[in-house]
A and B are shown apart, each in its own frame.
Chain A
Amino acid sequence: GENVEQHPSTLSVQEGDSAVIKCTYSDSASNYFPWYKQELGKGPQLIIDIRSNVGEKKDQRIAVTLNKTAKHFSLHITETQPEDSAVYFCAATTITGTASKLTFGTGTRLQVTL
């Protein structure tokens, strides 16, 4: 089955700096890659996603890049703010039966310091 590796496990940046989180996946059939943000005491929430026919996608301060050949994708957050502090999960989708299944990375705890 699919295996998703995520690095780093923790990341500390100063407010205003950029943060980059990287993920690799194993199943070349995976074709959808969402990123979820989990704030303290809450469930994960989708923040951005990318499909395999696209190399890059941007939404204000966050962007994702995908390299299908190398099977890796990354989340970039620019001009970080304290409210960006959270745990971030990457995921890859595989189709199974009649539902698509997400395989998650192990998470990155991002701390934005003042």
Chain B
Amino acid sequence: DVKVTQSSRYLVKRTGEKVFLECVQDMDHENMFWYRQDPGLGLRLIYFSYDVKMKEKGDIPEGYSVSREKKERFSLILESASTNQTSMYLCASSSPGWVGETQYFGPGTRLLVL
């Protein structure tokens, strides 16, 4: 059974803290994605990676960075957390090579920045 796991379901951080969100997939997928989900805005792509050490900006990369040192792990980093980064963060993975590959999502991390 395919599985994408995220390190925390709930996280509370203070403004200015450095925050790490971890995502691990066990499907040997090349592509990994980070989205944030906000009410009324749907899912918006922050960053994605199509190979180890490779990354591309999504639609809303400002205030975020990512790291992909191993194929199965994709980390989202908030260098200095701000209250407007309070949100649900979803990680996904997919196999490459053709249009229309299914993205498999983790359960999400709900982040509250105080």
Contacts and interface: CB of A to CB of B under 8 A. Distances in A.
Nearest to B59: A1
Interface residues on B, range: 20 to 34
Given A43-B4, A44-B90, A98 B50 contact: yes
A34 B102 contact: yes
Interface in B1-37: 4, 31, 35
A104 B43 contact: yes
Contacts of B101: 100
Contacts of B40: 9, 106
A4 B59 CA distance: 13
A26 to B, nearest CB: 14
Contacts of A105: 42
Contact of B103 (A95, A102, A106): A102
Contact of A97 (B44, B50, B59, B94): B50
Contacts, number: 66
A42 B105 CA distance: 9
Interface residues of A, number: 31
A6 interface: yes
A107 B45 contact: no
Contact of A32 (B92, B100, B107): B100
A45 B51 CA distance: 23
Interface of A: 1, 4, 6, 9, 31-32, 34, 36, 41-46, 49, 51, 89, 93, 95-107
Interface of B: 4, 31, 35, 40-45, 48, 50-51, 56, 58-59, 90, 92, 94, 96, 99-103, 105-108
Closest 9 CB pairs of A and B: A43-B105, A32-B100, A106-B42, A104-B43, A99-B50, A104-B42, A98-B50, A46-B102, A44-B105
Given A44-B90, A97-B50, A106-B42, 19 more contacts: A1-B59, A9-B40, A31-B99, A34-B100, A42-B108, A43-B90, A43-B106, A49-B100, A96-B56, A98-B50, A99-B50, A99-B94, A99-B96, A100-B99, A102-B43, A103-B45, A104-B44, A105-B42, A106-B41
